[in-house]
Chains A and B, each alone.
Chain A
């Protein structure tokens, strides 16, 4: 990742683990692939706003409690 592009951080992996969901299970619930979930969890892809809202609704939390643009979050 280049320094010109600051990726979002997120708690997706932790929230998924708390529910004992696999990446495929979460992907299926969100309508995206397992690879997409992995890319988001590892910070290699920032989800679109509609997908971020979908994630927030699925976990019943505000978006800003899952995604953050500040350093020091859960994702790598």
Chain B
């Protein structure tokens, strides 16, 4: 008998396994959405650098509905510690974006650096958010 099977003998542990499965199911869904967006960008860049209008609209609908519905489901299902970690990660990322974008913008206007690159800002913000979330997971 596996360790997982032994742990599900009790009602609380069964509920915890079920909660964990829902959590990772949602995470897999978000990763799939990210994978679709990333794969589309790679294919697009390797070809003409543009997308057919209908495909672009379809992706917008998919990402918007996926993030909104997934986010609603996620926030409804997680506990208060997970919610706290998400809020902290989002706040750190938003502050990072505000500071870096504003600084880059003024330095650009002062002809010190090139124009702000929104792809770099987006990726950096995502990395900072993931880092803040991981930090809270390691040190609750």
Contacts and interface: CB of A to CB of B under 8 A. Distances in A.
Contacts of A61: none
A29 B12 contact: yes
A25 B12 CA distance: 4
Interface stretch (B13-21, B53-61, B93-101, B109-117): B13-21
Nearest to A50: B80
Contacts of A42: 140
B118 interface: no
Interface in A18-33: 21-22, 24-29, 31-33
A36 B19 CA distance: 13
B10 interface: yes
A11 interface: no
Contacts, number: 65
Interface string A28-59: 11011111101100101101100100000000
B62 interface: no
B15 to A, nearest CB: 3
Interface residues of B, number: 20
A27 B12 contact: yes
B140 A39 contact: yes
Contacts of A36: 79-82
B12 to A, nearest CB: 3
Given A27-B12, A39-B140, 13 more contacts: A21-B12, A22-B7, A24-B13, A25-B10, A25-B16, A28-B11, A29-B15, A32-B80, A33-B19, A38-B140, A42-B140, A45-B81, A48-B80
